[in-house]
Copies of this chain bind each other. A is one copy, B any other.
Amino acid sequence: MSSRARARDSAAAAWRSIFDYIRATAADRVEVIDRLGLTPAESRAISSLDPNAGRSMRSLAEEWRCDPSNATWLVDRLERQGLATRVARDGDRRVKAVVLTPKGKRTRRDLIDSLYRPPPDLVALPQRDLDALRAAAGKLPARRANR
């Protein structure tokens, strides 16, 4: 067997296990989002806002791959919940910077901490496996290059 084929085999087996595990734990994440009173779209929105900087509507719409009017609608929802506000940017008053309110920052912190908390099954793995997992997974890109 070629080394290429061997890589594909191992990767396929690994991916299947990871994928199944992600699906098995999906309900936990829904629970987190529910607890914070968010919809899935709102939770994604909140986590793409930088607590220390505003972001234009346009850049948000691009990241979310949605219509600008859709971004307006979503940010409206965040604003109505007191999680974010719009401030006109000095210099170019056309662009609105969306910034997290203190409540928004707290909610984002809670959201991210909760989602990043490793599930018990994972923590229960042997230390050897955890170290290997950490090393291997750490080499994966956290963001996909623009295509």
Residue numbers of A with Cβ under 8 A of B are 3, 6-8, 10-22, 24-25, 27, 65, 115-119, 121-125, 127, 129-144
Bound-state Cα–Cα, A122 to B116, Å: 21
Tell me whether chain A's interface is mostly helix, strand or loop, or mixed: helix
The answer to whether A136 and B132 have CB atoms under 8 Å apart is yes
Identical chains bound together, number: 2
Chain B neighbourhood of A65, CB < 8 A: 27
A24 to chain B, nearest CB (A): 5
Residue contacts A-B, CB under 8 angstroms, 7 given: A7-B125, A18-B22, A22-B22, A24-B140, A24-B144, A121-B140, A125-B136
Q: Which residue of B lies closest to A142 (CB)?
A: B20
